[in-house]
Amino acid sequence: MKPSRFILLLFMWMVILKSRADLLGTWELLVDDARIASMHTVVTRFNTVVLLDRINLGPGPKSDCQIDPEHPALKPGCYSQSAILDLTTNKVRPLFKTLTDTWCSSGQFMSDGTLLQTGGFNDGFQKIRKFTPCEATSFCDWAELGETELSEGRWYSTNQILPNGSVIIIGGRAAASVELFPPQGGGAVKFPFLAEAEDMQMDNCYPYVHLLPNGYLFVFANNLSVLYDYTKNVVVKRFPQLVGGPRNYPSAGSSVMLALKGDYSTATVVVCGGAQYGAFHDWRTNATARQSCGRIVATGEDPVWEMEAMPVGRIMGDMVVLPTGDVLIVNGAEAGSQGFELASKPCLYPVLYRPDEPMGLRFVTLNPGSVPRMYHSTANLLPDGRVLIAGSNPHYFYNFTGEFPTELSIEAFSPEYLSPERASTRPTIVELPERIQYGGGFDVVVSGKFLAVGLLEINIASAPFATHSFSQGQRLVKLAVSLSAVEDVDGVWMYRLTCTAPPDGSVAPPGYYMVFAVNLGVPSVAKWVQLI
C-alpha cells in the first residue's frame, strides 16, 4: 500500500472513531439487579414504574417466594413476578399479589389512574387485575378481580383506552375478537380481520392499535391494516398492504402514531422494522431483520404507505414518542425473530426518527448501549425526559449462563436534549392545574433563561403499557398555546401561557398525562395532569 493511501485510510478511521465517540445521548445504570426482567413496564403518575414478568421463572416453586407483604423483601434466590421502581431513589420493591400468570398479557391505564391488566397464560388466560398506584413511600399492590373475567382467554392481545373511558381489548393468540372493560353484556365480539391477518406462524398477535382523532381505531396486523369502528364493529376502510414482510408478533417491528397537533384532523402512523417471514417458523436466528419503515396518513382519504429505510435492520425495537414529537427507536436485534432463543446480533444503537425532517434526513444514529435488550425488553418515556430501558430474557426460564443472559439491570437513556450544553434552554413548569377539562382553557406558568417564548410548546404524553415492542395507548398531543403574561419574580422571568385542552376523548382519552413544556427541542420535567 502506498504511504499516502495508508495515511488517508488512517485519517478516515480517525474520523469514524471520532464520530462514534460523538454519537448523541448518554446511558446510565439505574438498578444493577432488580430481581425481575421486566416484560411489561408502565410509568405511574407518582413517578414510580411498575415492572411485570411472568410466574415461575426463578428456581423453585413460586409459593416458596411468597412473602408477607408487610415485610416486603424477597428470599434469596427468589425473583419478583412484579415489582415497583421508585424513580427518586432507584429502589425496587417487590409486589406480591399477582397470583396468576401474566405472561404475554396486556394493559392500560383507566381514566381514574388505575392500571388495568388483562389475560396471560395458564391460570391467567382469562384473568383481570388492577393496580391502583400510590405515593412511592406508601404500599400498594395488585388486586386480582376474581369473579369478573374476560369473556375469552387472551394471550398476546392489545388494550386501548377509548374516548369514553372504557378499555377495548383486541385479539390475542387464536382470539380473533374484541371485548370491553368494564364488560358489556354479550361478551366478546368477533373481529374477522385478525383471522384474515393470521399466517402459518401467526403474525397477527399484539396488533398495533392507535386511537385516531376521528374516533376510529387504526388496527395493524401482519402487513394489513384497517380503520375500525368499534361502536358498530365494522371495518370502514382498508389500507394498502405494507410491503416488506410481517410486522407483528412473532415478527415484530414496532409502531407509533406521531404527535397530534394543529386542528387534530390528521394522524400519521409509522411502522418500523420486523423479522423475515419464516424466521420464526424455520428457527432462522440469523435471518437479517427488516430495515424498512412504512408511514401512512391514517386519516387520509386514499392514503399510501411512504417507505423509508432505517440505518440498520431491527426486530423487537421499541418506539418511544419523546416530548418533542421525535421518536426514539431502541432495543432489539438485527437478526432472527421474536420467541425463545430465536434472535441474534443485538442492536445496541438507538436511532432517533425526526418525523418533521424531509425524507432522507430523518434518522440519526445515537450512542450505543452496552447491554443486549432482546426478547421481552421494554422502553418507556419518563417524566424527566429520559427513557427507561428494562428487561430482556430470550430464554424460557431465567438463565444467566446462556447466550444473551436474562437481564436484571435497569438503565436510562438520556436523549441529546438532556445534554449539559442544552441545560440553559431547559424550561421549568412552575404552575399547572391538577385537572383540565376537554376544550377548556388553562394556564401554565413556565420559567427559564433562554426561552423562545413564541415557540414554546406544551405537549401532553400518555403513560403507555410497554410490552413486546409496542407501547399500548402511547400518544403525544401538542396543545394550542398563547402567551398571556410575562412577570419578573425576584429576577426570574415567568411566562404565563394559556393553553387549550384537547377538544375530546378521541384526541386524548380521559386520564393522567405528563405535561411537558418544550423550548427549542428541550423538554422540561413533566408535571402530571388529569384530563376529564
Ligand X SMILES: *[C@@H]1O[C@H](CO)[C@@H](O)[C@H](O)[C@H]1NC(C)=O
Which range in 56-64, 99-107, 158-166, 360-368 contacts ligand X by CB under 6 A? Answer: 158-166
Least CB distance to ligand X at residue 221 (A): 10
Tell me the three state secondary structure of residue 400: coil
Given the complex with ligand X, which of 105 and 292 has the nearer CB atom?
A: 292
The span from the CA of 8 to the CA of 519, in Å, is 42
The span from the CA of 200 to the CA of 222, in Å, is 11
Kind and range of the H or E run holding 211: strand 208-211
CA-to-CA dists, residue 391 to 34, 245, 349, 413, 463, angstroms: 10, 27, 17, 14, 18
Least CB distance to ligand X at residue 420 (A): 40
Least CB distance to ligand X at residue 275 (A): 13
Distinct helix (H) and strand (E) counts, the chain: 2, 42
Which range in 94-102, 223-231, 420-428, 450-458 contacts ligand X by CB under 6 A? Answer: 223-231
Task: Tell me the residue length of the chain.
Answer: 532
Which one among 243, 307, 455, 492 touches ligand X, defined by CB under 6 A? 243
What is the per-residue binding string for ligand X in 317-346, x denoting contact by CB under 6 A? ------------------------x-----
Which range in 65-73, 74-82, 162-170, 506-514 contacts ligand X by CB under 6 A? Answer: 162-170
Closest by CA to 515, choosing from 496, 531, 532, 493, is 531
Contact 300, 345 (CB under 8 A): no
Does 437 participate in binding ligand X (rule CB under 6 A)?
Answer: no
Least CB distance to ligand X at residue 108 (A): 14
Which one among 19, 88, 148, 286 touches ligand X, defined by CB under 6 A? 286
Which one among 88, 148, 233, 241 touches ligand X, defined by CB under 6 A? 241
Closest by CA to 319, choosing from 449, 100, 472, 124, is 472
Which one among 81, 201, 223, 255 touches ligand X, defined by CB under 6 A? 223
Which 365-424 positions form the footprint of ligand X (CB under 6 A)?
Answer: 395, 397, 399, 401-403
Which 68-107 positions form the footprint of ligand X (CB under 6 A)?
Answer: none
Which one among 66, 166, 291, 530 touches ligand X, defined by CB under 6 A? 166
Does 164 participate in binding ligand X (rule CB under 6 A)?
Answer: yes
Going across the sheet that includes 327-330, the strands are: 318-321, 327-330, 351-353, 363-365
Residues in contact with ligand X, counted by CB under 6 A, come to a total of 20
Least CB distance to ligand X at residue 393 (A): 10
* DSSP letter (8 states) at residue 418: G
Which one among 98, 105, 201, 222 touches ligand X, defined by CB under 6 A? 222
Which 116-155 positions form the footprint of ligand X (CB under 6 A)?
Answer: none
Contacts of 517 (CB under 8 A, 6+ apart): 427, 428, 429, 444, 446, 456, 457, 458, 497, 523, 524
Does 180 participate in binding ligand X (rule CB under 6 A)?
Answer: yes
Given the complex with ligand X, which of 139 and 397 has the nearer CB atom?
A: 397
Query: Regarding beta strands 435-436 and 527-531, do their DSSP bridges make them parallel or antiparallel, or are they unpaired?
Result: parallel
Contact 96, 144 (CB under 8 A): no
The span from the CA of 88 to the CA of 498, in Å, is 30
Which range in 36-44, 137-145, 222-230, 481-489 contacts ligand X by CB under 6 A? Answer: 222-230
Which one among 162, 267, 279, 333 touches ligand X, defined by CB under 6 A? 162
Residue 155, all three cell numbers: 394471550
Given the complex with ligand X, which of 216 and 513 has the nearer CB atom?
A: 216
Residue 24, all three cell numbers: 448523541
Q: Mark residue 56 as left, alpha or beta (left: phi above 0; alpha: psi -120 to 50; beta: remaining).
A: left
Given the complex with ligand X, which of 118 and 519 has the nearer CB atom?
A: 118
Which one among 144, 199, 229, 384 touches ligand X, defined by CB under 6 A? 199
The span from the CA of 164 to the CA of 239, in Å, is 26
Q: Which amino acid is at 268?
A: T
Which one among 19, 88, 148, 231 touches ligand X, defined by CB under 6 A? 231
The span from the CA of 26 to the CA of 43, in Å, is 21
Residues that bind ligand X (CB under 6 A): 162, 164, 166, 180, 184, 199, 222-223, 230-231, 241, 243, 286, 341, 395, 397, 399, 401-403
